[in-house]
Amino acid sequence: MSTATLTPDAPTGSAPAKVLHDEGRIGLRSNLRHIGALVRRNLLQIKQDPESMFDALLMPVVFTLLFVYVFGGSVGASLGGDRQTYINYVIPGLMAMMGMNIAMAVGTGVNDDFRKGVMDRFRTMPIARSSVLIAKIVVELGRMMVATVILLGMGFLIGMQLKTSVFGLLAAIGLSAAFGVAIMWIFMLLGLSLKTPQAVQGMGFLVMMPLQFGSSIFAPPTTMPGWLRSFTDYNPLSNLADAARGLMLGGPVAHSVWLTLGWAAAITLVTAPLAVSKFRKKT
């Protein structure tokens, strides 16, 4: 495994313990350089283990074909159309799902790095603790964008229509990315709190399954019982899916967009400081 070497900013002879625990002495420029080096280290890991990209490359294809050709006919009819109608409905919804599925890898990756002793190396380096976590976020965001491009490519290949504009499509991608980053902080915190990657995955599925299937991603909430419909109204994934549909297919979007951004900001403001604090304590 290749590891990027980070050059200490402190002069020779200074107390290393003080530098390691005082991020205020690390300037923004140095911080960005450290993040860049750690991003390169994570990308080299992917290069040496290309199988780690299978979820980002294959999951969009599998989910698109599965939901379109298994449920497309019946759900499309409930929408007043056919399978083509369902393609336009489900692809923007799947964009919301991609972020959560990719985000789980952040938590398992951080947890695995602690178990393998990688974090012990970072402990001896005069770098901001947050730079290690931010580098993980940057790389996983890149994987999420790869999965999103493949998902949209599959959608257009089987007949999805963009009824607004390219700017609407880009806005939908950007909104999905913003929410996906917020979810990554949750899984980062889980990865720092639980003991094994398997525990992170198990807890992740317990969180993801109700949110994904109790939403408007796969089917319109109008066919659901009242108690579940109430849940979907407050489900942030429903807001994201509805916003992406509005941006790509047309219709009112302001309410869903602002709710999604509000959820993303709130989740990040709560979980990011907790994750960084937990990481400092563990290192």
**57 within domain boundaries:** yes
pLDDT at 4: 44
Q: How far is CA 155 from the centre of its chain?
A: 20
Whole-number Å distance between alpha carbons of 269 and 253 = 24
**54 within domain boundaries:** yes
What is the CB-side half-sphere exposure of residue 174 using CA atoms within 13 A?
A: 9
Whole-number Å distance between alpha carbons of 262 and 239 = 11
The token pair at 149 is: 């491009």
Mean pLDDT calculated for residue range 164-177: 94
Model's pTM, two decimal places? 0.83
From the list 137, 121, 116, the residue with the least C-alpha distance to 181 is 137
**5 within domain boundaries:** no
Whole-number Å distance between alpha carbons of 22 and 128 = 8
Whole-number Å distance between alpha carbons of 19 and 103 = 31
Exposed e or buried b for every residue in 154-171, given b needs 16+ CB within 10 A? bbeebebebebeeebbeb
From the list 176, 179, 189, the residue with the least C-alpha distance to 282 is 189
**3 within domain boundaries:** no
**282 within domain boundaries:** no
**6 within domain boundaries:** no
Structural domain including 106 reads 17-277
How do residues 41-78 score in pLDDT, each as one tens digit?
888 888 888 887 888 899 999 999 999 999 888 888 88
| CB contact at 8 A, 221 and 113 | no
pLDDT at 123: 67
What is the CB-side half-sphere exposure of residue 69 using CA atoms within 13 A?
A: 10
**8 within domain boundaries:** no
**9 within domain boundaries:** no
Whole-number Å distance between alpha carbons of 268 and 262 = 10
Average pLDDT over the chain, rounded to an integer? 84
| CB contact at 8 A, 267 and 180 | no
| Tally of structural domains, the chain | 1
Residue showing tokens 């990027």? 4
Mean pLDDT calculated for residue range 107-124: 77
